[in-house]
Amino acid sequence: GVMEKLGLGPEVLLQENPRLIYARLTGFGQTGIYAKSAGHDINYLALSGVLSKLGRKNENPYAPVNLLADFAGGGVMCAMGIVMALFERARSGRGQVIDASMVKGVAYLSSFLWKSQNMGIWSQPRGENLLDSGAPFYETYRTSDGKFMAVGALEPQFYTQLIKGLGLNLDELPAQMSFSDWPEMKKKFASIFAQKTQAEWCSIFDSTDACVTPVLSFDDVASHQHNKERSSFIKNDQGDLSPRPAPVLSRTPAVPSCKRDPFIGEHTEEILLEYGFTEQEIAKLYSDKAIECKNLKANL
């Protein structure tokens, strides 16, 4: 209701421009008993049902930073809604309002979890299933130098290469999908991975289809050979590292800026002056703590 209070709600603006696409990105959505309640990623994740699936056996559910609801279920879904509305407008000539709720967005993002319930993938309690740290062949393992390797050898042909790389004999092990043997197999795999460094394991598993890769830190990710060849990370003019925009379009690829990120309030005065505010008005906004400015030139 904030935009309505300002007289800038969708009904008002769409009357003035029927082609307008008006995106409303919220946590709980425009309606419902939580619509006006405060919340954060973890709350939206909880209400969507997804949080109940995240976490290890005998531990509390955990939210993986704030990527799922805020960015994937919220920002990306909202952006997709805008693109869909633009595509539809090319045929109808009319705009529309997008209600992008992070709860609904992340719930829809989790459609795979819902649609695969009867496939046996999620038949066990949290942390005991194929993709949630239950399987020994879909897990992370600590190496002798305190780093980690990620294992995702789901298919039998990949699992065979994992077992070979670990120096084990497939004929002497339980069947890959023997659920009751998974806990012991995880202990066996963990003890073997702990005997070599991350680099040593990379030398064994690189160029194989065992689906075993290093867990790279932010400090190491840009120097990894694969990421270097793909130019996956870029540095700005201050030497700060960040991911290159993705996905890459063949004809109109993104041209990333190599300038540093602006400081908070760095351009506030410049922009307000450009929009017709006087220095006295800007100074008043600053003194009222309505804005932040860096090196304010206006007389206080």
Summarised one tens digit per residue, pLDDT across range 179-191 is 999 999 999 999 9
Evaluate whether 140 touches 179 at the Cβ level (below 8 Å).
Answer: no
**Looking up tokens 């394991």, which residue turns up?**
201
The CATH number of the domain where 96 resides is what?
3.40.50.10540
The answer to whether position 227 is within a domain reads: no
pLDDT, residue 63, reads 95
pLDDT, residue 120, reads 82
Q: How confident is the model at residue 296 (pLDDT cuts 50, 70, 90)?
A: low
Q: How confident is the model at residue 297 (pLDDT cuts 50, 70, 90)?
A: low
The CATH number of the domain where 205 resides is what?
3.30.1540.10
Residues 143 and 64 in one domain: no
Please state the domain count of the chain: 3
Residues 196 and 270 in one domain: no
Residues 76 and 148 in one domain: no
Average pLDDT over residues 48-75: 96
Mean pLDDT (the chain) is: 95
The answer to whether position 128 is within a domain reads: no
pLDDT, residue 90, reads 98
- Domain enclosing residue 26, as ranges: 2-119
Domain boundary among 57, 88, 119: 119
Evaluate whether 109 touches 72 at the Cβ level (below 8 Å).
Answer: yes
Residues 113 and 155 in one domain: no
Q: What is the pLDDT of residues 219-275, one digit of tens each?
A: 999 999 999 999 999 999 999 999 999 999 999 999 998 999 899 999 999 999 999
Residues 111 and 7 in one domain: yes
Domain boundary among 215, 238, 271: 215
The answer to whether position 11 is within a domain reads: yes
Q: What is the pLDDT of residues 94-124, one digit of tens each?
A: 999 999 999 999 999 999 999 998 888 888 9
Residues 111 and 170 in one domain: no
The continuous run of DSSP H or E covering 139 comes out as strand 138-142
Q: Active-site residues: which are they?
A: 40, 70
Query: What length is written for the chain?
Result: 300
Residues 114 and 143 in one domain: no
The answer to whether position 96 is within a domain reads: yes
Residues 50 and 101 in one domain: yes
Q: What is the pLDDT of residues 189-213, one digit of tens each?
A: 999 999 999 999 999 999 999 999 9
The answer to whether position 165 is within a domain reads: yes
Residues 210 and 292 in one domain: no
Average pLDDT over residues 146-160: 98
Domain boundary among 119, 154, 174: 119
Q: How confident is the model at residue 294 (pLDDT cuts 50, 70, 90)?
A: confident
Q: How confident is the model at residue 2 (pLDDT cuts 50, 70, 90)?
A: confident
Residues 95 and 168 in one domain: no
The answer to whether position 282 is within a domain reads: yes
Q: How confident is the model at residue 50 (pLDDT cuts 50, 70, 90)?
A: very high
Per-residue pLDDT at 66 exceeds 90: yes
pLDDT, residue 121, reads 85
Strands 212-214 and 22-26: unpaired
Evaluate whether 161 touches 153 at the Cβ level (below 8 Å).
Answer: yes
Task: Output the CA–CA distances (angstroms, integers) from residue 237 to 11, 67, 131, in the order listed.
Answer: 44, 27, 40
pLDDT, residue 300, reads 44
Provide the CB-side half-sphere exposure for 45 (13 A, CA): 20
Residue 219 tokens, joined: 């400090």
The answer to whether position 100 is within a domain reads: yes
Residues 96 and 151 in one domain: no
The answer to whether position 195 is within a domain reads: yes
The residues, any chain, with a CB within 8 Å of residue 86's CB and separated by 6 or more, are 21
Minimal CA–CA distance to 177: which of 120, 139, 114, 127?
Answer: 120
